[in-house]
Amino acid sequence: MTAALTPSFIETDPNLIHGFEGNLVMILSPEGRMNTLGRRVNKLSGGALARLAESSVFEEMEEGSTKALDFLPGIAATAVIVVKLGKRADHAAVRRAGAAARRSAGRADAMVLAGTLKTADAFVQGFVLAAYEFTAHKTGDRKEAGSLTVMVGDKPAAEAAWVAAGAATEGVIFTRDLVNEPANVLTTVAFADRLLALEEHGLHVSVLEEKDMEQLGMGALLGVGQGSPSPSKIVVMEWNGGRDEAPFCFAGKGVVFDTGGISLKPAGGMKDMTMDMGGAGVVAGVMKTLALRKARANVVGLVGLVENMPDGHAQRPGDVVTSMKGTTIEVANTDAEGRLVLADVLHYAQETYKPAGVINIATLTGAMVIALGHENAGFFSNSDDLSKKLAKAAADTGEGAWRLPVGPGYHKQIESRVADIMNVGGRPAGSITAAAFLECFIHDGMPWCHIDIAGVASLKSATPLGPAGATGWGVRALDRLIADNYEAV
């Protein structure tokens, strides 16, 4: 697994600046004002920072952007990376600025002159997330990533703040690694093994095998994987950091590769279906985050791991399967498989843990990409209260999420002639009818949200916080949701 760049925090000492041989990262306000460290850099470099601050180049820089001043006199640093950033910038803006600084600094050693920046944890988080590279299958010698030193006015406070921010960062990187892995490497067995390894962080992890699911009557989930030699599994991760309160549950779709089954997908773009376990990846990343920061909450993460393949044993369009709940489902399209997986996982979670609330996460529908593109995940809910909490957590962490409707009219679209319901409702409102299907497996009175991350889980181009590929969207938002609403005081 990819090792996160580990920051080292040191107390402010202007005497260490002149001899540092990597890249210095210096923050200037939009007005060009300098703190104590900025004034030291400016003095050592013969007024270089002041000249930049007074120039039209600085005036035209967008807030959060950077300018590299190379090989300045009076200091050993290769470059001073100047970041234009105001004191009132929110955490999301500061995080993006940190990421921009990393892109400018490259792989060289870096020293961030954070000084009294109150949001240094967000700046460093952005820097570390932007340093991520998925190189597990690259060969040949590769230059090691440089070190990261952060000079702060209050080292104990900065280190304490980094505990939570660093845990979330590692959770995001864990998720990115899982989603980036090819399907021949991250099989259902390998995925389960990686989650079992999380026990070293204090999670209790257990696995339901096919025989267990057969006894429980999980015909919906088992039907999806019956065409693959890879065994279907449900992995349950429990974090018991609270008191005796009911846990909160996260459920993730973990289709390690999705051919569409007998309803075969077109060849173009099918290789991207290695990311169809993105929801399970997010749940795993959140659970790792909670364990690393010792969250004072009870949380259960469940992931259904299957592979959807079209061999002679695969389920057919028109088959009828019986879910654990007892609801019969007409499988009108075998490429609408994720909702079948989640149907049994959601029912099992509620029956077993009687949670305070449940959120499921899935790369569920291409229709969500059409609706919201790659800027926002879409979510659906039966609870205004839980929706508000989720939307706030997403906004506070800079992860876009937009609520869409679900209701009786959409449920009518999934009525079946031969079974209780069917797994698709036609082209109109495809993402909403998928949510309506999942809502059929939510117990009365259970606060629930379904998050469709099809458009944000993995991208073709780089984002402000990372390279092309897996984003780790949702780990930080869901961790914040727990921190703000479900932790013991």
DSSP 126-193: HHHHHT----TT--S--PPPPPEEEEES-HHHHHHHHHHHHHHHHHHHHHHHHHHS-TTTS-HHHHHH
Would you say residue 188 has pLDDT above 80?
Answer: yes
**Amino acid making up residue 285:** G
Q: What is the pLDDT of residue 1?
A: 79
Report CA torsion sign: 308, 310, 314, 320. Answer: positive
Average pLDDT over residues 59-80: 95
**Amino acid making up residue 28:** L
| Contacts with 250 (C-beta within 8 Å, 6 or more apart), sequence order | 283, 286, 287, 299, 300, 301, 302, 358, 359, 360, 361, 478
Side by side, the strands of the sheet bearing 66-70 are 7-11, 148-152, 110-115, 23-28, 79-84, 66-70
Average pLDDT over residues 325-331: 98
Distance of CA 444 to the CA centre of its chain: 29
* Tokens linked to 304: 């259904």
Q: What is the pLDDT of residue 28?
A: 95
Residues in the chain: 489
CATH class entry, domain 7-153? alpha beta
Percent of the chain that is helix, strand, coil (3-state, to 5): 40, 20, 40
pTM of the full structure: 0.97
**Virtual CA dihedral for 284, 287, 288, 294, nearest 10 degrees?**
180
Percentage of residues in the chain having pLDDT higher than 70: 100
> What's the Cα-to-Cα distance from 377 to each of 279, 334, 427, 457, 474, rounded to whole Å?
12, 24, 19, 9, 9
Q: What is the pLDDT of residue 396?
A: 95
Query: Tokens 């879910």 map to which residue?
Result: 323
CATH 3.40.630.10 positions along the chain are 169-485
Q: Which residues share a beta bridge with 449?
A: 359, 381
Report CA torsion sign: 30, 59, 25, 128. Answer: positive
Summarize pLDDT for 212-257 with one digit per residue, the tens.
999 999 999 999 999 999 999 999 999 999 999 999 999 999 999 9
Q: How far apart are CA 50 and CA 230, in angstroms?
A: 63
Q: Are 360 and 283 contacting, i.e. CB atoms less than 8 angstroms apart?
A: no
Q: How far apart are CA 249 and CA 298, in angstroms?
A: 9
Q: What is the pLDDT of residue 199?
A: 98
| Contacts with 153 (C-beta within 8 Å, 6 or more apart), sequence order | 11, 12, 114, 115, 116
From the list 348, 307, 314, 344, the residue with the least C-alpha distance to 329 is 344
Would you say residue 170 has pLDDT above 80?
Answer: yes
CATH 3.40.220.10 positions along the chain are 7-153
- Residue 210 three-state SS: helix
Q: How far apart are CA 246 and CA 298, in angstroms?
A: 7
Q: What is the pLDDT of residue 489?
A: 76
Q: Are 278 and 179 contacting, i.e. CB atoms less than 8 angstroms apart?
A: yes
Q: What is the pLDDT of residue 145?
A: 80
Q: How far apart are CA 487 and CA 298, in angstroms?
A: 8
Q: What is the pLDDT of residue 87?
A: 86
Summarize pLDDT for 280-320 with one digit per residue, the tens.
999 999 999 999 999 999 999 999 999 999 999 999 999 99
Q: Which CATH number fits domain 169-485: 3.30.1950.10, 3.90.1150.10, 1.10.10.60, 3.40.630.10?
A: 3.40.630.10
Q: Are 380 and 407 contacting, i.e. CB atoms less than 8 angstroms apart?
A: no
Summarize pLDDT for 383-397 with one digit per residue, the tens.
999 999 999 999 999
| Contacts with 408 (C-beta within 8 Å, 6 or more apart), sequence order | none
Q: What is the pLDDT of residue 415?
A: 98
Q: Which residues share a beta bridge with 421?
A: 329, 415
Q: What is the pLDDT of residue 348?
A: 99
Would you say residue 83 has pLDDT above 80?
Answer: yes
Summarize pLDDT for 99-147 with one digit per residue, the tens.
999 999 999 999 999 999 999 999 999 999 999 999 999 998 777 788 9
Exposed/middle/buried for 58, CB within 10 Å: 0-12, 13-18, 19+? middle
* Tokens linked to 342: 């989640």
Q: How far apart are CA 382 and CA 404, in angstroms?
A: 11
Residues acting as catalytic residues = 265, 339
